[in-house]
A and B are shown apart, each in its own frame.
Chain A
Amino acid sequence: DTGVSQDPRHKITKRGQNVTFRCDPISEHNRLYWYRQTLGQGPEFLTYFQNEAQLEKSRLLSDRFSAERPKGSFSTLEIQRTEQGDSAMYLCASVGDVPYNEQFFGPGTRLTVL
């Protein structure tokens, strides 16, 4: 157990619905990453935060995706108008101090869009 939690662990939804995932990082970590992973691929970078500031967002991410980290603690990832291609594992990683940059992953949220 890395100390990073994600909720829910599994989500099944119908195409067109909105979904929101939550990540609670390690409390003293100020950086947080979101990734998407599909079978046979490595985690694909979506976005990252330093405290409450979203510093970078992947160009692959459509406008249907949004992430927040309102108080620099937990973060949420929302997908609007889900599509079948959004089915994947969504992973959150908590990152400690520079210069170590070691990422500690939560268990992930597995999304299935029907």
Chain B
Amino acid sequence: RKEVEQDPGPFNVPEGATVAFNCTYSNSASQSFFWYRQDCRKEPKLLMSVYSSGNEDGRFTAQLNRASQYISLLIRDSKLSDSATYLCVVLRGTNAGKSTFGDGTTLTVKP
């Protein structure tokens, strides 16, 4: 079993839809959590950090559930430009340490 697992998708949604991704992690010592976005053949770009209390940035909401060891990303009012691969990443310690990425979930938003 992989340390960090994501549903690879693809998720195909119409513009304006709400879509949610989950990411599960196996190491209970994990301390820092993030969502990254990666466009085809480009480097990953930070989308948002995930805090214990949950956090929101515009149309994006991230949640952390430590008890069940998963993080989630909710995208509201999907735009065509949201089409990308979404990667979750988990860091083992608060002072960085080994960083483990999931294999990503692919989202395609269609007109």
Contacts and interface: CB of A to CB of B under 8 A. Distances in A.
Contacts of B100: 45
For the complex of A and B, list the 3 residue pairs with the smallest distance between their C-beta atoms, beginning with the closest. A42-B101, A105-B43, A101-B32
B43 A91 contact: yes
B68 interface: no
Contact of B44 (A40, A43, A99): A43
Interface in A18-77: 31, 33, 35, 40-45, 48, 50, 55-56
Interface residues of A, number: 28
B98 A45 contact: yes
B88 to A, nearest CB: 9
B99 A103 contact: yes
B45 interface: yes
B102 A42 contact: yes
Given A42-B101, A45-B98, A48-B99, A105 B45 contact: yes
